[in-house]
Amino acid sequence: MKQFKVVYLFFICCLLVKCNGDVQCDQYANDLDIISRFPFTVGLDYKQQGPDKSTAILDETNSLVIMIQLRQAGSIVPESVFCLKNLQALDIMNMFFDNNMVPDTLSNLQQLHTLGITNTPITKMTQKLSSLGKLQSLSLDKCSLSYLPNLSQLKNLISVNLPNNKLSELEGLTNVSSLSLYKNQFTEIPFIAVPEALRRLDMNYNPVMDMSYVLFFKNITEIRMAESKIPVIPSHIALLDKLSFLDLSNTKITRVPRSILNLPYLQYLVVQNNAISKEEVDSLKMDLLDRQSKINLLI
């Protein structure tokens, strides 16, 4: 009976540790010890292993793991990966988190500047994501995400890539230069604290109904908002004088404001499969000819 109680208490303790995401990092001698105890092999020669294998890259002392990619399809991400406190880049693909939750121990990775997770279900992202002060690039693709914590503490975050999820809002964007929200559920463009920082916006396949906010992105070069519900191109779009690519195919627009033809760097204007009349199409093509414009028009 006494032995049963000991086993029971041990089981309860293990559950508590698991629930709290409290991996005991001090049990490992060093980074190499950590990755050697993963339930799968992690190679140390990226050139030999290739992009489809689990691989780690060491620093110049060959003792600290600074980059790791995990490619063990169908396996659980070992939580001890968050004990690699000098890690600068973490890339996970085709795996699972325990209970589909990214644990609080993510906050151990204070040197992390690149985080990429692909085709890995996430029902809950830890609030500790916002503690990664050095993070510059965040990519979460095909993760079934419906929520992300506020990102306002990530002052160094410049690239946000969140395609193929279930997101409808995103808060705390500050100094982002590239934002990809392809195939989500946004009805409006997320607020960006420093809008002039944005260079690239991809919101294809979102039910966005108004694109007026793009006029604040004074330095933007690329806008992709195809397969949306946008009815009108803002007449003041000519203010975006660095714009080179605009895709508004499969939306609800009925005409193209002629001011758009004044954009000095515009190379591609894609407005296929809209409600634009034949007369409007012919008129637009004639205007392009008259101006001897080099814009590639797809209509």
The per-residue pLDDT for range 234-264, each reduced to its tens digit, is: 989 999 999 999 999 999 999 999 999 999 9
* Confidence bin at 205 (pLDDT 50/70/90): very high
pTM: 0.90
pLDDT score of 22: 66
| Residue type for position 247 | D
The per-residue pLDDT for range 52-96, each reduced to its tens digit, is: 899 999 999 999 999 999 999 999 999 999 999 999 999 999 999
DSSP, collapsed to helix, strand or coil, labels residue 117 as strand
Right CATH number for 20-157 from 3.40.50.300, 1.10.540.10, 3.80.10.10, 3.40.228.10? 3.80.10.10
Return mean pLDDT, the chain: 92
- The number of helices, as runs of H, and strands, as runs of E, in the chain is 4, 14
Q: What is the DSSP annotation of 242-294?
A: T--EEE-TTS------GGGGG-TT--EEE--SSS--HHHHHHHHHHHHHTT--
Please give the average per-residue pLDDT across 219-237, as a whole number.
Answer: 97
Residue 164 pLDDT exceeds 90: yes
The per-residue pLDDT for range 135-155, each reduced to its tens digit, is: 999 999 999 999 999 999 999
Residue 266 burial (C-beta neighbours within 10 Å; 0-12, 13-18, 19+):
buried
Right CATH number for 197-299 from 3.40.30.10, 3.10.250.10, 3.80.10.10, 1.10.10.10? 3.80.10.10
Residue 193 burial (C-beta neighbours within 10 Å; 0-12, 13-18, 19+):
exposed
pLDDT score of 75: 97
Q: Which two three-digit tokens encode residue 131? A: 């503690």
Instruction: Report the percent of the chain where pLDDT is more than 70.
Output: 91
Q: Where are the chain's structural domains? A: 20-157, 197-299
